Amino acid sequence: MKYPFEATIEEILAQPDQYIDAVFSCLESEFLVMPKGTGFIDYPVFEKGYEALKAATAGFSDLKAERIVPVIKSMPISFVVLRAMLGFTPSEWGYITTRRTGIAVSQGYARTFDRRVRMNPEVPLKPSGMIAARLEALVKTACILLCQGVPDVQTDQIHRLDKADTKRGLDSIRHLAAMGAPYAMLLYERFLGRPFAGHRDSVSELVGDSLESAIEDVLSRAGISYRKTKRAEKIEGFDQTPDFIIPSEFNPQVVIEAKITEDDGTARDKVTRILRLVTLSHNQEISSKQRYEVIACIGGRGFGERREDMRRLIESTHGKVFTLKMLDRMLDHSRLREFRTR
């Protein structure tokens, strides 16, 4: 099988489907395995928080802030358990707390506090002043919401608390805590929220970093000078900053864009970003030649869903599309070979 980076642009234009299939054949998806990252909570730790919360509230029969706040201070992971019972993100919890109590709990503060707890889930907290007031406001709001159950909504709406453990307030919570949740209902709620959705979102940057790290390894082993840009960094001459510039931003000869996605809709957006870099290169033509070469390094099943997008990507980059399996071959099949020193 011949890959697009091994072909001339004439060969690609003549038989694009052959090269699309070649790229699709070596795309790999890592959606079943995720990095834990910092702040990951293992189940035994989470369970400790759950049991502490259950004991302090007499089996969830007396859900009051004055019972729960001391538990959170001594066993901070209980805070995350309480949030899981709500089914809210930290930002959502902070927002509704501000609305209901009048105590300002910004979304940024809520995220920071939640992360602080996840980083040290069993280290006691000693909050004071405004931190203590915000914690109490968050817990009071949670208690009110969990005790009241689901309010009436329109027939074409569904309330976020319409879950097996919170639908009828404390009665639902006590029932599930006493007898265990029906498996079908748990699966249904997972279907609505996607298993590991919150954690996957929190480590999405680490998933992308795996491809960038592999590219850095290839470039470093070849002794190639490069500039790795930071997220959201502005580089003069680029209205869209690429992930890597070779040999430097002052003399760009090769740019590399690294993209991973498991979703075909997101893949289309990422292809558009790469095509924009090609357009920028064409706008800086010198003697009808590209000022810099654009290389696309891609991964994830999302890129394997839209043939037309892949055709555009292959043709616009003149075949310089590489997957994680093929990164080593970048050195021989692109202008990177001009900058190799070992």
The answer on pLDDT for 205 being more than 80 is no
Distances (CA, A) of 110 to 81, 93, 138, 340: 15, 7, 9, 48
Confidence bin at 202 (pLDDT 50/70/90): confident
The answer on pLDDT for 164 being more than 90 is no
Q: Read off the pLDDT of residues 100-144 as tens digits, 9 standing for 90 and up.
A: 999 999 989 999 999 999 999 999 999 999 999 999 999 999 999
**Rounded Cα–Cα distance for residues 35 and 38 (Å):** 9
pLDDT of residue 223: 96
Least confident of 29-33, 223-227, 275-279, 327-331: 29-33
Confidence bin at 287 (pLDDT 50/70/90): very low
- What are the sequence ranges of the domains in the chain? 4-32+203-339, 43-193
**For residues 318 and 199, which has the higher predicted lDDT (pLDDT)?**
318
Q: What is the CA radius of gyration of the chain?
A: 26
The answer on pLDDT for 186 being more than 80 is no
The answer on pLDDT for 166 being more than 90 is no
pLDDT of residue 67: 96
Q: What percentage of residues in the chain have a pLDDT greater than 70? A: 91
pLDDT of residue 146: 92
Find, among 307, 334, 337, 330, the residue nearest to 23 by Cα: 307
**For residues 131 and 163, which has the higher predicted lDDT (pLDDT)?**
131
**Rounded Cα–Cα distance for residues 129 and 333 (Å):** 61
Least confident of 94-98, 189-193, 248-252, 269-273: 189-193
pLDDT of residue 288: 40
Three-class SS of residue 299?
strand
Distances (CA, A) of 43 to 52, 77, 113, 121, 246: 14, 11, 20, 12, 44
**For residues 111 and 261, which has the higher predicted lDDT (pLDDT)?**
111
pLDDT of residue 331: 94
The answer on pLDDT for 191 being more than 70 is no
